[in-house]
Structure 1
């Protein structure tokens, strides 16, 4: 009997005629077979044998085509797919979408399995782990003193954002996490037959629930929906895995100390968020939403602390007749409202009931009604999280000082680290707004206070002078007796909410104001003036309560960033404000919009040059630079492996501090599984440590490398701009040949896909731009222009010898991490592309001349880019240096291609004015499935 499980996503099986898989990957194959069998059984039981046989026929035919490049199989596949009824089409889409989702689960579990296998075998720590980073530090003579100094000054902060490329629903994610946990249980323990049967049944329940759950959201997501989704990852991963990471790091550092005594690690790795605070282009982020966001975050943190304090009280039943306690612990217990005679001889429990009572009072004071258990009595709320941490430290010190150190290393240690990292705010919420909004707000305030100011008509220098003058005085501009525009009133309300959050949750709750589209010094000073209005900047004392952060996004902005920051840091008034922030200044670099503006090659190069220039400017001014990298999930938006990306930064760009956005589907891919999540967090910390201590002033690339890259970038920029912005009708080609219109109909984000109601590429957000190209399997933002650049470079630098142009490019690839990373990311993107499938999407373009002209240019550039990449790297095929990724991608194609074929046909019907409900719904389902198969698609 044919069964889906026999070949779904196999990494090699004799039945498919594929090569046998390495022994270490057999468990992955077995997991995929298991999940495939369960899915197949579910389809058969729910949809009947006819649907099951159709799914199997499509799958077998697609595999045969990919294995043998059998054109007869391709035609057979097209006939099968074209001949389906609407109901069959929907079932096929759902089946192949779930194939990809289940394969992702199995692959994640296999990564965990391989990591554990290395650990069990006693293998040397691998790159990307903190053990490897500390080992390299020891080898180079970096002692414990320098390491401890690094952790005191470091800041590593992944920042979650709500960009709309996460197409999965939370309901589906929960069941997928259940499956991951069940696979892990099967892996890690010998089960009895009864236990195995129970585990298999639980997996069947999870898969059946997935099948019977809608893959799509039927209502538009609100900002609060996005906040709740983001907060859920703290339950799954962050609240437990970050303290676990700190505890393990503490133990590793203890082995490097002469006395081998553990010492608490400062909370250098923390979480940030834009969800609920990013109002750039999102009119739904209001002051009320910001307040609700902070309340939701704080509620999650305090609920966790309450649960842990309750559990800890149950564990620490130590009787005073059997142990000695410190005076501080005795005092803490005596202050507890707990007067139960049953606990009078249990000082640790009384201390913890007192802590619980204060936590409950804190939750009530912060307007949180979600306290599940009643406290034993009344107690005063904590003024801030440091008070809670101090009382937990009293318990820790008493245990470690009186022979019970092992008790302090369990739940208590995890809770102490959690409080230190998450405080009462959970994650630092960034506020982001466009500079144009700030300009209009400041202009209205100035005009209301002094009619005739005419701020909008002033040039940059006049604006700077006026703003500096206003910043000298404590006099506010806003008046309660003036009715301001809705925009200005809204901006002031949000900033007042930020000031209130500082008072309620602490300054770490909202430490940053980010300015999108920053292109001048006045943009920074405008925000300073607005912060003064709400008390977050106090001019008389020179105190600045939050970081003012410019975001340089376009190619032009990146090129001007060094000049702008040099001018800003030269202003005595601004430097005085920075002194209150420890002479640290953060700068954010935008990967997504710079790519959309100038293409992949030029974006990467201008970002690299901007970093070099900023490092030099900041060094000259004696100000510490912290870079915030606005990377997306896809290579076209700055994505790719984080470890290599951090190590490829120019010397001095990573000074122990770095912030990086985690966007869209990347969040669930990295952090829905707790163990995978902890490994990803560890990788960020390890890369930052290595880049700072092992390569603090990495040698600058050879001058000829820089010159060559400048030439390559120029050629690539010209090719990209000529296609995207210089080709007549290109906008029409894009909108007709991709699913951009249909993506806008998905309920996957709270903000619109374009900044304005136009079809202009300039106004389109970078996220749907990249996401659309991924869906049609072109991945254009991740490679276009490279082939033309190399061809032009070789024409200008001919010769095959050691002095020829190709020899230079190969040398750059061998010796320069930046160029290595650039080509490695392009290698991955090109491997996921499929020009034959892309040609099917091109057929959707109604103008035949436009279709032929644009697609042939794209096809030629695609081939030229692959040829150039292989020639430089010396590979005989894509991803030859990454066989694991190559295997994963290769085995996904048979399950992606049918989805692409169906998507094209449904798009044709939808645009032919088909009113059938299943058509648009089917398109939306294919978007989900293709995104799952590609993983980092947006």
Structure 2
């Protein structure tokens, strides 16, 4: 008896999946669970086609007959299968990428860096010199997979490589198979549920693993691809910078404190220095050329003489171990000084990364002068890139806080001060706050003790103090950005600088305030807010210190939750165009920071196409974007996949403002302006009508596992800004649980709702098809909606929604679903969703029967747990057992759907 994939046979993936499912079945058989294998196969078969009414009923009957022990075993087994499916798919992607020929042979639309550079032509070197790619990793809780599960899957993947190796003999393959059986057995017996909520330090460890295992290797490979594409001896600069919100983002997360931020940067520095020391040591061991074959430059000889004075004991040992090998000697000194930097030995440690880079370039120039260009531009060049990219701090740790928190702190601090009659009004007065920032606070405020202030206000001040301390220790790059959530006025922005003046006085502090515009209303007024902000004296002084660089963050998640996906896309596009015009008028260099989520309802989807659709001038060689949750796992778990993702980012950023593309995009935006306005208005009205309908919050809570989401313990941050984990209001519900809940209910409202009404309002299919062909923004909008619709399921969605007790709303939702699906298919000229995207289509269909099986179980458990009469008949232990079943189905469905938050 075996587990047999019911999906389409996908070349490449089917072989791996067939092996893994057979091994999984063997594990269950050895555990005496042939009954579970039969149950799983029977239910999956019945659940595979939800349009078949008889099969749908059969699946429901199977599920209704389960007790909680059977349901638990079933959910665990199906979840393991979905994890193994994801593993097989990931291996297929990595193998496909490794099998590609040279990067510059790939097409522009596929994200080939070489092809992009070829299209740019003579300006390519300068465009690369001005390039800046800035991914920011966040701890937003959308990754339902435990680290123990990820580790087990990594071990299985390693053995699959061994098993597939054409040089592996029978004994080697037998060993690999035995190890896979062992790890699948462990995986089957490992709880996918977290028993405790992760703390910020746990999230930091997870992110650090990404750097250790992937990014330190993928980033130099990216630079090599760019170098190959340029086709010159000129080495490209290190144009990637990484940021992190993990340990810095305290918006609605009371567990991220100043102490956590300080310890986070200490951990990042340890990892950065250890990685750099490891690379430097490997290079030192390899640079064994002697001074006769490769004579050192005079500058290198002088530098070693100075090292002998600064580090006499180190140099004595270095010369003893490597006599007559000056280049190796210098690299061993670099290693020693890195170790001293980790130990914080003042006077012997490196002051900053620039001092280390001076040493590395000295060795490089000496090798080059001696004629050893190969060694000069090999591993040594890669180490130089690593130092330029990661510094000693690894990633730029960013602070984020809600504007309301600053406002409350200001009110408290201003209360009782002379000449402040109304603290609340003063906290909203941008000119008054600007004077505090530039001239300082009165003595009555600066002399206050911590004991006189609330814990939250002390934390706000301590956050700025720790930023100043970290910069003093690790340099101004390490932690200087302060993102203000829900920025709605200039007062919200200057408030940070006013609070900083009170916290640190005149001490050195690089403080780059980054406004975050999130709702549709805030985006529409962003230009005015910025205009008022730059008119303030403190802002003008700061602009002069940054060569007039301004960073503005755009919120995709909350804007989509506020006005719907179609209107949010169009609103964001207009806002970006307005901000570009504003920046030109103010003569500032603008970088837009895109707060994109992983899910299709939060700005997710194909990033390469989305970048190419950005308004002209909004990228201009600089692109900053959040990466979070399951997106980090999907893009950065494998070195080859990570390299490819970064290449696609790079090629898209290089090409977005290429003159020919920009002109075509601008022309199309003008040509389809009326169409956009029609879709915007109609889609937003349809969406707002739904979310403002009486009972919609109750429907979501009853028809989905929204209130149970907190029990999954995905991250350290509560799911609501108020800190509570459940409720019947949508106001403080974060965008992530909003999306997660609708995805679990198989309706995916945040990814498509309202678009059908917008397309129907246009009504002209020819015009819509022309727009899809000619206008990148509209094409991206349709493609994202198509994928979101493909991951939904009408029959299951109806079954979920009917649990909510609002048949009127169910009818409205399903009508919009049918309307949107019909119009999207007509615009695409297809009979089925993803008909022209075979890889995506097959990937979804491969998982669908198993996700459907979990959805059937979830519906049954929700009906039980959300019905007081049914609960009354159960004892506490049985109730808890069924809650565990629900959580298991949520975890498994998240694994199968892949972008649920």
TM-score greater than 0.5 by the shorter chain: yes
Does 1:438 pair with 2:412? Answer: no
- What are the Cα deviations for residues 36-86 of structure 1, in whole angstroms up to 9, with x where unaligned? 1111112222343222232233334444x46xx554433333333332333
Q: Unaligned 5+ residue runs, structure 1?
A: 13-24, 367-377, 795-804
- Comparing 320-329 and 816-825, the one that deviates more: 320-329
Partner of 1:888: 843
Alpha-carbon separation, structure 1, partners of 2:102 and 2:430 = 61
Per-residue deviation at 1:323? 3.2
Does 1:236 pair with 2:213? Answer: yes
- Comparing 115-124 and 481-490, the one that deviates more: 115-124
Question: Is contact 2:678–2:762 with CA below 8 Å preserved after alignment?
Answer: yes
Partner of 1:53: 38
Does 1:786 pair with 2:755? Answer: yes
Partner of 2:271: 300
- For the residue of structure 1 that corresponds to 2:716, the secondary structure is coil
Question: Is contact 1:476–1:532 with CA below 8 Å preserved after alignment?
Answer: no
Per-residue deviation at 1:202? 3.0
- For the residue of structure 1 that corresponds to 2:439, the secondary structure is coil
Residues 459, 282 of structure 1: CA spacing in aligned structure 2 closer, same or farther, 3 A cutoff?
A: closer
Partner of 1:577: 542
Aligned length: 876
Alpha-carbon separation, structure 2, partners of 1:323 and 1:655 = 43
Per-residue deviation at 1:120? 7.2
Question: Is contact 1:528–1:537 with CA below 8 Å preserved after alignment?
Answer: no
Residues 47, 398 of structure 1: CA spacing in aligned structure 2 closer, same or farther, 3 A cutoff?
A: farther
Alpha-carbon separation, structure 1, partners of 2:842 and 2:680 = 32
Superposition pairs of residues 505-584 of structure 1, within 5 angstroms: 505-535=474-504, 545-571=510-536, 573-584=538-549
Per-residue deviation at 1:396? 1.9
- What are the Cα deviations for residues 566-620 of structure 1, in whole angstroms up to 9, with x where unaligned? 3333446523321211111111111111111111111111111111111111111
Partner of 2:591: 626
Alpha-carbon separation, structure 2, partners of 1:38 and 1:705 = 54
Does 1:708 pair with 2:679? Answer: no
Does 1:693 pair with 2:637? Answer: no
Residues 47, 272 of structure 1: CA spacing in aligned structure 2 closer, same or farther, 3 A cutoff?
A: farther
Residues 342, 120 of structure 1: CA spacing in aligned structure 2 closer, same or farther, 3 A cutoff?
A: closer
Alpha-carbon separation, structure 1, partners of 2:574 and 2:885 = 45
Superposition pairs of residues 188-227 of structure 1, within 5 angstroms: 189-227=166-204
Alpha-carbon separation, structure 2, partners of 1:707 and 1:125 = 33
Alpha-carbon separation, structure 1, partners of 2:172 and 2:394 = 38
- For the residue of structure 2 that corresponds to 1:509, the secondary structure is coil
Residues 82, 526 of structure 1: CA spacing in aligned structure 2 closer, same or farther, 3 A cutoff?
A: same
Question: Is contact 1:109–1:183 with CA below 8 Å preserved after alignment?
Answer: no
- For the residue of structure 2 that corresponds to 1:381, the secondary structure is coil
Please, what is the CA RMSD of the aligned residues? 2.3
Question: Is contact 1:651–1:700 with CA below 8 Å preserved after alignment?
Answer: no
1:822 alignment partner, one of 747, 761, 781: 781
Partner of 2:733: 764
- For the residue of structure 2 that corresponds to 1:904, the secondary structure is helix
Question: Is contact 1:269–1:685 with CA below 8 Å preserved after alignment?
Answer: no
Partner of 2:863: 908
2:719 alignment partner, one of 746, 753, 757: 753
Per-residue deviation at 1:381? 0.7
Per-residue deviation at 1:638? 0.9
- For the residue of structure 2 that corresponds to 1:178, the secondary structure is helix
Superposition pairs of residues 168-567 of structure 1, within 5 angstroms: 168-187=145-164, 189-253=166-230, 255=231, 257=232, 261-263=233-235, 265-334=236-305, 335=307, 337-340=314-317, 341-365=320-344, 380-447=348-415, 449-450=417-418, 452-458=420-426, 463-473=429-439, 478-482=445-449, 483-535=452-504, 545-567=510-532
Alpha-carbon separation, structure 1, partners of 2:234 and 2:294 = 23
- For the residue of structure 2 that corresponds to 1:26, the secondary structure is coil
Residues 536, 934 of structure 1: CA spacing in aligned structure 2 closer, same or farther, 3 A cutoff?
A: farther
- What are the Cα deviations for residues 523-576 of structure 1, in whole angstroms up to 9, with x where unaligned? 1111122233345988xxxx9723211111111101111222233334465233
Per-residue deviation at 1:703? 3.8
Residues 519, 625 of structure 1: CA spacing in aligned structure 2 closer, same or farther, 3 A cutoff?
A: same
Alpha-carbon separation, structure 1, partners of 2:442 and 2:138 = 33
Question: Is contact 1:647–1:691 with CA below 8 Å preserved after alignment?
Answer: yes
Per-residue deviation at 1:458? 4.6
- What are the Cα deviations for residues 342-380 of structure 1, in whole angstroms up to 9, with x where unaligned? 4333333332332222111111229xxxxxxxxxxx970
- For the residue of structure 2 that corresponds to 1:522, the secondary structure is helix
Alpha-carbon separation, structure 1, partners of 2:286 and 2:29 = 49
Per-residue deviation at 1:200? 2.4
- What are the Cα deviations for residues 745-766 of structure 1, in whole angstroms up to 9, with x where unaligned? 1111111111224421111001
- What are the Cα deviations for residues 252-297 of structure 1, in whole angstroms up to 9, with x where unaligned? 32x1x4xxx242x222211111111111111111110000110111
- What are the Cα deviations for residues 99-127 of structure 1, in whole angstroms up to 9, with x where unaligned? 21111111122122223333179954452
Alpha-carbon separation, structure 2, partners of 1:692 and 1:476 = 49
Does 1:147 pair with 2:110? Answer: no
Partner of 1:853: 808
Partner of 1:591: 556
1:731 alignment partner, one of 697, 703, 711: 697
Residues 426, 842 of structure 1: CA spacing in aligned structure 2 closer, same or farther, 3 A cutoff?
A: same
- Comparing 382-391 and 172-181, the one that deviates more: 172-181
Per-residue deviation at 1:867? 1.1
Q: Unaligned 5+ residue runs, structure 2?
A: none
1:635 alignment partner, one of 600, 603, 610: 600
Alpha-carbon separation, structure 1, partners of 2:361 and 2:103 = 37
Does 1:657 pair with 2:656? Answer: no
- What are the Cα deviations for residues 754-799 of structure 1, in whole angstroms up to 9, with x where unaligned? 12244211110010000000011100111111222233343xxxxx
Per-residue deviation at 1:702? 4.8
Partner of 2:85: 103
1:87 alignment partner, one of 47, 53, 69: 69
TM normalised by structure 2 equals: 0.93
Alpha-carbon separation, structure 2, partners of 1:159 and 1:121 = 25
Residues 184, 397 of structure 1: CA spacing in aligned structure 2 closer, same or farther, 3 A cutoff?
A: farther
TM normalised by structure 1 equals: 0.89
- What are the Cα deviations for residues 298-335 of structure 1, in whole angstroms up to 9, with x where unaligned? 11111112222232232223333443222333344442
